[in-house]
Each structure stands twice: as structure tokens, then as C-alpha cells.
Structure 1
Amino acid sequence: MDKLNIALIQINPTLGNFDYNLNKVLEVWRQVDGHSHIVIFPEFALSGFFPADLFFETDFLVNLKQTIQRLVKASENFNSTIIIGTPYFDRGLFNSALIVKKGTILAGYHKRCLDEAFNEGRYFQPGVKPLVINFNTFKIGVSIGWDCWKENGWFHFYNQMDVDLLINLGAFPYYQGSFKEREKVCQVLAQRFNAYVACVNLIGGQERWVFDGRSFVVDPYEETVTLLSGFEEDFCILSIDYDTILRKKLSNVQLKKEEPCEYCFFDEVFLEDRRRLLSFKGKIEAKFSEEEEVYKALVLALRDYVEKSGFKKVVLGLSGGIDSSLVACIAVDALGQDRVVGVFMPSPFTSKESKEDAMQLAQNLGIEFLEYPIDEVFEIFRKTFGYPEFDVADENLQARLRANILFYLSNKRGYLVLCTSNKSEAAVGYGTLYGDIAGGFAPIVDVYKTMVYRLAKYRNSLKPDIPERVLLKVPSAELRPGQTDYEVLPTYEILDQILELYLEKKASVNSIIEKGFEKSVVEKVLSMVKKAEFKRKQAPFGPKVTKTSMVADRIYPVF
């Protein structure tokens, strides 16, 4: 029986740290080499994601070239073939998958369908040739990203070549529903090719992006036969049985009526590895609930941003509200309680209950709790300017005083300030510029308020750190007596539905109204979204977890 052992390895590289990335690659490769024919690493495994204009720096390119040379040299000590994603200079810069064995680069596949979201066309040339690897009995195709799915990719070519296995390297950004989309695409490819499809994805956080891993293999019968962990490094080995492929191809021989692809040049490699290796069944990790998935993405994004940027601790304002409570939990789960500092900054309008809730949260989490009342400095400001009336300027002043305290602590102690603004608030501009929307990183900036509540309840199901009253009370900024969010906004249940239709589904004003929402409410909300663009352009970024992130995907003029 012919079989092929493939090792799927998802790692979390650090951008530009070539020594670290190479050592990580070699360390895991050693663990699987004796049991694998082919070892597969994801897109950007050597460089980290995403170098952007570092590609214009000579030192970066020289270090990258030297790292590739060191990898090739090290491969002399391994028996398996490695397929690894890395930028590669080959009479031009390409986003490539290098096939390396025993001290030689046997071939380089270059990504064809460059990703517009990362502006890859600014740096890379598109690939012009597909690659076929003839490995023992198996015919293998190689692709990167969506190269076998988009119109100008290699779907028709690999289908016509009748490949037995498609190996796809990816750096697929996470958002809600992205894994299901990726899995469905590969199931369709497996069905059309009558072949196995292996998709190896990056993991880690980098600025606005989170990569969830969850590398997988789909068999010719469209079943997911291997699924790696989500949001953490992982690897496994799977034995692919040629008889399974052959049976499926023979059963569909009359059904396959693919039009011949246009003639094109392609690269072809012939390899043999006749080692008789043990068989491995792979593994299937459990899938997540929607809340667990989003929460894990936020924890990974914050951890990687802090660690890769070199911050010792994070600091955030604790108001006794739901947003700051959730961000504090995310920070503790990402970094540990000793690296999180919560600051309570009451004003004359802060309720007794808010102080109790903030203190209880900090106690439950075991984090450092600081209290700096702003009453006195607030009154000094007001007396200095001498305006007798109390209005929105005085409300915003309180938020900006609090921001000053947080950034003073940041400056003094080297902490990263976490912004606790959510997507609903950011969308409609319900926040104070240089006040509560200020920070160095915004963990929940792409999380709708209704999801904030769901995540808080999910986190409490693991450990009830958020006081129950925080989940039940009417949301308020407490910047004046009796204030609630609903004086300015519709309920968050209504607001978020309107925003999701407008932002995620690109619905028009009329189509949203036709869904049953009041015309005046819809027009007000969408007007607020447009007018708040100037705030969002000056606000901190955070991880993308929805399909249309305000900070990663939306490019809109300031009105």
C-alpha cells in the first residue's frame, strides 16, 4: 500500500526576528522528521507577518536571504522534504513556497493571487507558473492563499493535472466565520480534484490581524480528517493512503468533465523517499463556540502585541462597566494577573455601585488596583475657564483627565495603555477623542456591544470574575447626573443590528428600513457613523474579529 506521511506545522513567528523564526522551524522539524515524508509550514513562516515597507530596506532583505541559506544548509541533516512559506527573491520579489531537501532548493512556487487587504501588489510580483511535485506515486500541487479559488488562479490547471494532493500554505486572517469559509472552499476543491487538500495556516497576532491556525486536511470524500488547534502552535502527522484517492478517482471518472485549461508553462519536480514509516491518523481538535472563538482571538492578539512589542505591563481604566471589565479579563488571561494594572478614577458623578464593582473585579482577578479621584483637578479646570454652564465640554473634560492619568502612568512605568472602546461606540463616535478612546491598543474595538455582553457571560462561565451587577445595569458613561447611553443611542440590540447590516452586509439605507427599523433611527445612526470618521482615524487600532473591521478594512473619507 502506497502512503505519504505529511506533517502539518502551524507556528507563531515574530516579524523580522529571523533567528527566532528559523530556530522554531528547525526545532519542530526535528520532532517530525523521522516520521514524515513532507513537512509543511505556513505562509510567511520565516519572515513573520507582514513586513510591508520593510521590504524596501536592504538589511531586511539581506537577513532574509541569509536565513533562507541557513535553512537550506540545515536541511542536509534531515531526511524529509520541507515546504515552507517565505518571501523569496527570484529575479524579483515573490511570496513563495520553497521546496527544500538535502541542502538544495528544488523549486519555488510563487503566489499568484496577491492579497489586496495587505497591499501585496506593492511588494510582490505575481507568480506565473503552477508547480507539480511527483513524489513517489503521488502527484502534488502547491498553492498559497486563494490561488486555487480565484478566477485567475490555478484551479483548472491542477484539476486537469489530476493531482492527488493539493498543499495550500496560508496566512488567513481570522474573523467570525472565516474558518468555516476556508474549510468549505477546501471541501469543494477536494470534491472537484478527487484529492486530499491540506491547508496549513499561520497563528499569532500582529497589529490589526489575528491568525487562528486551525490547519486541516480534507480527504477526497470531503471529510475533514485532521484539524489542528485554534489560536495556538500545534503540529501533527497524517498518513495519506493512495488507495483511497484511487478509489475516489475511479468512481468519478465518468462524472469529471472539466474543460481543458489554457496551455501554460509549469514547474515540475520529481522526488523519491522510500522510507517505510509508521502510519499516523492525524487528529481532530474540538471546534469552538462563537463566544469561545472570539475570546481566544482577543487573548492571542493582546498577548502577541504586548510580548512582541516588549511591554512589561498593561494599564487600563476600570469604570465598573462591562467594557473595562471584559478587557481586564482578557488582559489577565493573556498576560497573567501580575502584569495588569487597573485604575479607578472617580468623578463627582461616579456612583457608589461603580466603585464597588470595579474594586470587586480587581479583587477577583488579583490585579493591582489604583484609585486617583479627578474631582479636584476637574473643578480647577472649570474655575480656570470660568464657564458657569455645564455641557458636553465638561463631560469630555472628565474623560480626557482620566486619559492623562493613564498615560502618565504609562510614561512613568513603561506600561501599555489599553483602550476599552467597543465597535458599536467606535462606529457611531460615542466616545471622547483623546479621552476614553485613547490608548496604545484597543482589544475590543472590533467587538459589537451585544457581543461584549456575550463574551463577558462566557468568561464568567469559566470563572465568575465580573460582578453580576455589571452584566445587568444600564450602561452609562457617568459624566453627569442620571446619564445613560440610551439618551443618545438606540438600545444596543437595535444599534448593532443596524450596524451589522450596514457594515458587514453592505445594506443600503432603504433596505435596512425595510427590515423593520424606524427610518429616523436608521438615518441618525448612519449619519453618526459617517461623522465619526475623524475620530476613528485618530483612535488606536485593535484586532479584527468581524468580517468588516472599522480599523482594518474600511477606508472612508472624513466628512
Structure 2
Amino acid sequence: MKIGIAQINTTVGALRSNTEKILNAYRELREQGAELVITPELAVAGYPPRDLLLRGRFLADCRDLLQEIAAATTEVPLVVGFPEENRGPGRAAYNSAAWCAEGKVQKVIRKSLLPTYDVFDEDRYFEPAPPEGPILFRGKRIAVSICEDLWYGLDGQRYSHRPDPVEHFAQWGPDLILNLSASPWHFGKRELRGNMLRRAAERCRAPVLYCNSVGGNDELIFDGHSLYAPADGTVREVGPSFEEAQVLFDTESDPSPEIRAPEMEDVRKALVLGLRDYTRKTGFSKAVIGLSGGIDSAVTAAIAVDALGAENVRGITLPSSISSSHSVSDSEDLARNLGIRFESVAIAGLVEAAEEALSPLFTGTDPNVAEENIQARARGLLLMAVSNKFNEILLTTGNKSEMAVGYCTLYGDMAGGLAVLSDVPKTTVYRLAEHLNINGERIPRNTIDKAPSAELRPDQKDEDSLPPYPVLDRILELYIEQGYSRGEIVAEGFDPELVADVVGKVDRNEYKRKQAAPGLKITPLAFGIGRRIPIVQKYVP
């Protein structure tokens, strides 16, 4: 069977635009010879719609547009994801898929398993439904599933109170399983998805065709990368990664094996897509970045160029009286390598004016972090002024390691509209910088080789306040992403005092992260909506 896969980039709440994308993809794939077309999960609404589902007319508007979509179908069915009003008891809606053909909705299939972990909160909005029976089409029994419905066996305890949709399908023996998905990408997600598809194909002795959403919506990045798993459980690549595509796939053909891109290229593509869509979908076309001569701002600038084009990126260096000469020269070299607009704005006078204004209050006290942070806040003030003046989104440059331990300044280097690297550990930033230079120097060599520094006091180095980043990042991974206690981390071979210090900093700085710009998620557990730790809490693990 020739199946059209509409791997489309939808925008949450852009119902008319999403509808046009769905219909354009349907027409294009039908003209190419598709016998059936499928879209990603909740394609009409965009994913995740969150509290838009609770707004008065949202579900009704989605219903009306679904009818418009259905009216445009011919004998070639279109399976489209949409939020369906629940007219009975329970939550406001179902997460549904409509089988549309010959001008109307022929059947509605509802999602059974509703994820409520990490970034997902579907149980807040949707009512679960029992697994559906087959749809008979051209002599074949087709099972339609929605994203999480195929994940039961990988974490059965989470859904032990619900029937397993895959087991249900296996009992009546489908000829084909379709899966409409909106699955965000992170490190390791490809392997997890492959295992999920393999299990479903093997247990049902039937091929599985998986259509995933692509694009960035807020902090989430959807990679597309639609897949096919024949009944033998091998996983084959159907759709490209991190780009929109309409793919005509013949289930009788032998598709290419799944392509494994270099890990850092996946990271680069994810960040580029997330940044491009965040700016485009929020109405920006240009970006401004404060360039310090350091690795984080350099990598952020390179990602911005790949996402928006060099002509749409402005780099500004803001030297203070203690800034090193290489902080300016390395920034100049970076701007030259990337071809971006480059400017310099000195902040020494602004810092002196602030210190003079505060001197009556600070008299009799020793200088400390308060004075250091005036520099960072002066930079934030000026960069935000440029952002406002020229309608250029200010990109913050802090990485996950710094955000974790609070090695950042509120209303200073944290000021901005999007935190591009806030889920990228410092050691990964260095790996990404080397990858960005694979076809020629983009990040200056001195920026990569020199010791990292915030340059808020003379001769300052990051290791004055923090352990070496390889050590810090491993402790942070164990504590934040894997949920280890202090004792369990120490058992991995780390110094007890060091572990207590790092864990304490993570916990004390929750208030900073709650005020940070939204960031792009690339790890299994990012700061933000997927990690809901109270600010005021005293639990010591």
C-alpha cells in the first residue's frame, strides 16, 4: 500500500494555518499516488496545546476545521490528529484521530494512554478511552494508534491500571499499525523509539508506520524522523530528521535502514530548528547576542547564524574596565568568521555611575558579588535596549551547568527572550564547538582553548568557584537527570564534600531558574516544565 506521510511543522493554536498545511500535504501526496495519508498527533491544534484546550471556543473551532478538512477528502482516506470535545463525564476532551474519506469523518479513534511525566500533562486535559478495533480498508485490518499507545511495554508500571493497546491489537491480528505521534527529541530518544516500534511490530506480527511531528513549539523540539518497522521488528527510516517533508511510502518496498547521524550534528540541528521556530513563531526575524569572547556566546552565535542567517544576527561586545583584551579580539574574530554585524559598547562608565549611586548605601562594606554583578546587569540593560529598539530577540548564552548551580546573574546574563544552551551541559558545549568547526574555523581556536571565565573580577576563572566541568557535569547528570541521592553519587567515586556543595547549589538556585528565559530541551530532563521542584523546600536527599 502506498501511504502518504505528512511530516508537517504545526504551530500551537494556529488552527487555520495548520489546517492549510494538512490539506496542502494531503493534496500533494494524493497527487503522487498515495492510497492513504496520515498526519502527526493533534495536527489541527498543534502540540502541546495545554490550557488552550480549556478556552471556551478552542475545541469547537478545532471541530469546525476538522469538518472542513474532511469535506476536502476523496476516496483516499486522511487520518488526522485533533482534540475532540468530550460531551460526557470526565476531562474536557479526547486526544483523537479522525479517519476522513469521501467528504466526511468516517470514524474517530481516541488515545488510550495519557502521559503525565516529564513535559507531558495530558491527564490534565484528556479523557482516556479503551483501545479501538480495526478499520477495514482495501481488504486490510488497520490499527490506528496515537503516540503513547505504543509505549506501554517499555514502562508498564506507569500504565498498569490501563489495558495495553498493543496487546489489544495483537489479539485481533492487524495487517498494519499506524501511529500518529508528537514525540519531542532528546539525547537517546531514537533508540527508545526504535525499541518501542520493534516491540509493537514483533508482538502484533504486523508492520508499524510511525508519523512524527517536526518543528519547535516553546521549549520542545520535534525531530520528525518518521519510521517504519516491518513485522520482523527491524527499524527503517522514512522521514528526514529535523525538517518538514511529505513522503510517499510503499509498504511493499524495502526502505533504507535507519540513518545514524553524528550525535553533535543532531544536537546542532535540534538547536537550529528550535531557535528558528521559536523566533519565527513569536514574530521575530533577527537576534542580538552579547559576545564575551567565551565558548557559550560563540556557540550561541553560530547556532543563530545557522537558524536565521548571518545577515539577521548582531553581536555586541560590552567590555568593562577589567575585561581582558582577548575577550574583545576573540569576539571580533568570531564575528568575522560568521559574517555577522559586530559592535562594541563600553560599560565602564555605566558601572562607575551605578557604583557611585550606591556608594552611600555600600559605605563600610567590603566589595563582593554585588559589585561584580553590576557589570553583568549593565550588559543586560544595554542588550535589552538594543533588543527593544530594533525588534531583535536577545539570546541568552548560559549553559545547563551554570544554570544548575546558579553561576549566572539574574537580570544580567540571564536577561533575554530565549536561552539557547540552557539544556546543554558545558562539556557538550565544547564538543558542539568542535563539531561546528568541522568544515573550517567558525569558533576561534583561542575561544575553545582558553580557560572559561565570567570576567567579573580580575584573573577570574570558573574553576575558582566550580569543580572542573567534566566532574561537575557528571554529578549534575546523576543528581538532576537520574535522580541519585548524595550518598549514591558519592558511591560513584565522588568526594562527599564536593557532592554536598554541588547539590546544595542546585537546590538553592531554583529561584533563579524559575525566572530564566525559556530554553530548548535536548536532554531527557531539562529545567522548566518537565522538572517541577518547589522553590521553598528543605528536603536533603
State the TM bucket, normalised to the shorter chain: over 0.9
| Counterpart for residue 28 of structure 2 | 31
Give, in angstroms, the shift of residue 22 of structure 1: 1.6
Q: Do residues 446 (structure 1) and 423 (structure 2) align?
A: yes
Match of 1:272 in 2: none
Partner AA of 1:106 in structure 2? Q
Equivalent residue runs for 1:401-550 within 5 Å? 401-550=378-527
Q: Distance in 1 between matches of 2:79 and 2:256?
A: 21
User: What is the one-letter code of the residue matched to 2:166?
Assistant: F
Moved over 6 A (4+): none
Instruction: Tell me how far 1:240 sits from its aligned partner.
Output: 2.5
Q: Answer whether contact 1:332 1:340 (CA < 8 A) is retained.
A: yes
CA displacement at 1:65 relative to structure 2 = 2.0
Q: What are the superposed Cα offsets for residues 322-377 of structure 1, whole Å, 9 maximum, x if unpaired?
A: 00000000111000111111111000111111110001111111111121100111
- The answer for the alignment partner of 1:189 in structure 2 is 200
Secondary structure (helix, strand or coil) at the match of 1:146 reads helix
Matched, 1:12 2:9: yes
Distance 1:463 1:119 in 2: 43
State the SS of the aligned residue for 2:419: coil
Give the SS at the match of 1:50.
Answer: coil
Aligned residue in 2 for 1:245: none
The structural deviation recorded for 1:395 is 0.6
In the alignment, is residue 316 of structure 1 matched against residue 313 of structure 2?
no
Q: Is 1:46 matched with 2:44? A: yes
Q: Deviations over 1:399-426 (max 9, x none)?
A: 0000000111112122211110100000
1:200 to 211, 214, 217: 211
> Could you say which residue in structure 2 is the equivalent of 1:252?
none
Q: Does 1:374 align with 2:347?
A: yes
Q: Give how far 1:11 is off.
A: 0.4
Q: Of residues 74, 79, 82 in structure 1, which corresponds to 2:75? A: 79
Secondary structure of 1:462's aligned partner = coil
Q: Letter of the aligned partner of 1:395 in structure 2?
A: E
Deviations 1:432-453 (CA, angstroms, capped at 9, x unpaired): 1111112111011000000000
Of residues 120, 127, 130 in structure 2, which corresponds to 1:128? Answer: 130
Residue of structure 2 aligned with 1:139, choices 102, 127, 141:
141
In the alignment, structure 1 residue 383 sits paired with structure 2 residue 356: yes
Report the AA paired with residue 486 of structure 1: E
Q: Distance in 1 between matches of 2:93 and 2:70?
A: 19
Return the offset for 1:215.
Answer: 0.5
- RMSD of the alignment, in Å? 1.5
Alignment of 1:225-374 (within 5 A): 225-241=236-252, 281-283=254-256, 286-374=259-347
Stretch moving more, 378-387 or 539-548: 378-387
Q: Which moved more, 1:207-216 or 1:5-14?
A: 5-14
Residue 304 of structure 1 deviates from its aligned partner by 0.3
TM-score between both structures, scaled by the size of structure 2: 0.93
Distance (whole Å) between structure 2 residues aligned to residue 65 and residue 173 of structure 1: 25
Matched, 1:68 2:79: no
**Equivalent position of 1:275 in the other structure:** none
Distance in structure 1 (CA, Å) of the matches to 2:535 and 2:272: 32
Moved more, 153-162 or 439-448: 153-162
For the Cα contact (< 8 Å) 2:225–2:237, is it kept in 1?
Answer: no
8 Å contact from structure 2 (residues 410, 512) kept in 1: yes
Instruction: Provide the rounded CA distance (Å) in 1 between the counterparts of 2:345 and 2:24.
Output: 48
In the alignment, is the contact (CA less than 8 A) between 1:170 and 1:202 conserved in 2? yes
* Structure 1: unaligned runs, 5 residues or longer: 242-279
Q: Which amino acid letter does the alignment assign opposite residue 107 of structure 2?
A: A
8 Å Cα contact 2:396/2:415 also seen in 1: yes
Give the Å deviation of 1:222.
1.3
Match of 2:228, SS state, is strand
Counterpart-to-counterpart distance in 2, 1:50 and 1:57:
14
Q: Which residue of 1 aligns with 2:225?
A: 214
2 CA distance for matches of 1:443 and 1:374? 25
Say if 2:150 and 2:196, in contact at 8 Å, map to a contact too: no
* SS of corresponding position for 2:437: helix
Query: Cα deviation per residue 1:40-93 (whole Å; 9 max; x = unaligned)?
Result: 111021111222221222343333222111101111xx3311111111225252
Does the Cα contact within 8 Å between 2:166 and 2:204 map onto a contact in 1? no
- Alpha-carbon distance between aligned partners in 1 of 2:493 and 2:86, rounded to the nearest angstrom: 57
Q: Residue by residue, what CA displacement relative to the aligned partner does 1:227-272 show, whole Å, maximum 9, x if unpaired?
A: 311110123222224xxxxxxxxxxxxxxxxxxxxxxxxxxxxxxx
Q: CA separation of 1:108/1:90 partners in 2, compared to 1, >3 Å: closer, same or farther? A: farther
> Counterparts of 2:54 and 2:232 in 1: how far apart (Å)?
45
Deviation at 1:283, TM superposition (A): 4.8
Q: In 1, distance between residues paired with 2:324 and 2:367?
A: 19
Q: CA deviation at 1:552?
A: 3.2
* Distance of 1:306 and 1:463 partners within structure 2: 27
> Hey, what's the Cα distance between the residues in 2 that align with 1:324 and 1:226?
35
Aligned pair count reads 516
Q: Secondary structure at the match of 2:79?
A: strand
**Post-superposition offset of 1:193:** 1.0
Give the Cα–Cα distance (whole angstroms) in 2 for the partners of residues 51 and 203 of structure 1: 15
Q: Name the % identity.
A: 39
CA contact (8 A) 1:208 1:542 kept: yes
Q: Is the 8 A contact 1:33 1:79 kept in 2?
A: no
- 1:172 pairs with 2:169: no
Structure 2: distance between partners of 1:226 and 1:467: 36
Following superposition, the deviation at residue 505 of structure 1 comes to 1.6
Question: Post-superposition shift, 1:284?
Answer: 5.1
**CA shift for structure 1 position 281:** 4.8
**Mean CA deviation greater in 362-371 or 484-493:** 362-371
Distance in 2 of aligned mates of 1:235 and 1:283:
17
CA distance in 1, matches of 2:430, 2:283: 31
TM-score normalised by length of structure 1: 0.90
Distance 1:378 1:133 in 2: 69
